[in-house]
Structure 1
Amino acid sequence: MNSKQGVILYGPPAAGKDTVTTELTELSSKYAQFRRLKVGTGKSAGYRMGTAEQLLKLEAAGDVVYVNARYGNTYVIDQPGVDAAFAAGVPVVHLGQVDGIQALVDGYPADWTRVLLWCPREVSAQRSAGRGDRDTTARLAAWDATREDLDAHPDMAWDLTVDTTVASPQEAARLIDQLLTKRAGTATA
């Protein structure tokens, strides 16, 4: 087992990835959200804003672990970014595509804990509207795509599944932290 531990939070928009990550960082300073490189416009919080030229350089160097397009933007998980995240502690990577999980697990050796955060579509709609998203319709289309993605990958193994309408963000963070602690103990045993 790899000594580098990372967390992948997968789920539809408004399932609680940001909120659970905030709770993880409050639980322990070892956790930090991995800030993907974002090429495009809109929300910049939680991202490293980049340019098309930067993306081309990363691609030419073979440093792109995963790239996807959504909401008119391009989102990149890059080798140098993940290296820096591991140097700082335990990265928490947010993903909404099973292919992204596979690309990260296969493309960046580490002990990745895969967590499925889930909530019903109507809850995503309420949460999106409640936080003032201007693109709730696009986020609901992404919710549908996430559901289809899960259905297309029934063999996907999850280390933990959390229904965020039942478990509080604090409880989800505690469960994730306990799981990583247990896995770290198993790795050293």
Structure 2
Amino acid sequence: MTTLSTGVILYGPPAAGKDTVTHALVEADGRYALFQRLKVGSGKTTGYRMGTVQQLADLEAAGDVIYANSRYGNTYVIDRPGMDAAFAAGVPVVHLGQIDGIRVLVDGYEADWAVVLLWCPQEVTVQRSAGRGDSDTAARLAAWEATRADLDAHPDKVWDLTVDTTTASPEESARLIDQLLARRAGAAAA
């Protein structure tokens, strides 16, 4: 029996703590690393591999786009070569804001995916977005609403773990995720 590589998907609205929890995971255990999606567009570059329209077209032509979505005027891509490299390096942590994206990734890239819902109320998204100096808080609030609607439209989604980031610190959230993966590894070995 072949053991699948393990990956983590963090799902949640803007400012729920995906970046902060990922940082805590990396600090706690160097096996974890943010999967840097290919971003075609402008704006924030940290945490992304910036790409061009031609690179995206080449990936599409090769059948190497696992999932792509558009938000904030940009296109964000999970690509097979990038995912292969991320798994070769350790345990990738993928940030997603759409349940359809989770389904496509889980079905489209063979791995043992742990899916974690990070949640915060809308007013916390407003506070955190303002606190980090976002210039597009209104767009982030629209994305929060879209995430809420996405959750309401998919009541059947079963999370491997749900973390309220208003009550769990980033370090506690990372510990819970790491424990989840340890339990899954133990169950697979049994």
Q: Secondary structure, in 3 states, of the residue corresponding to 1:166?
A: coil
**Structure 2 residue aligned with 1:72:** 73
CA contact (8 A) 1:2 1:109 kept: no
* 2: CA distance, partners of 1:188 / 1:49: 39
TM-score (norm 2): 0.98
**Structure 2 residue aligned with 1:172:** 173
How many pairs align?
Answer: 189
**Structure 1 residue aligned with 2:155:** 154
**Structure 1 residue aligned with 2:141:** 140
**Structure 2 residue aligned with 1:33:** 34
Offset, 1:13: 0.2
Q: Does 1:92 align with 2:88?
A: no
Offset, 1:67: 0.3
Equivalences for residues 6-85 of structure 1 within 5 A? 6-85=7-86
* 2: CA distance, partners of 1:167 / 1:29: 21
Stretches of 4+ aligned residues off by more than 2 angstroms: none
* 2: CA distance, partners of 1:14 / 1:38: 19
Offset, 1:2: 4.2
The one-letter amino acid paired with 1:149 is: D
The one-letter amino acid paired with 2:89 is: A
* 2: CA distance, partners of 1:66 / 1:166: 32
Give me the CA root mean square deviation. Answer: 0.8
The one-letter amino acid paired with 1:35 is: Q
Q: Secondary structure, in 3 states, of the residue corresponding to 2:21?
A: helix
For residues 145-164 of structure 1, what are the alpha-carbon distances to aligned partners after superposition, in whole Å with 9 as ceiling and x for unaligned?
A: 00000000001110000000
TM-score (norm 1): 0.99
CA contact (8 A) 1:5 1:111 kept: yes
Runs of at least 5 residues in structure 1 that lack an aligned partner in the other structure:
none
Q: Percent identity?
A: 75
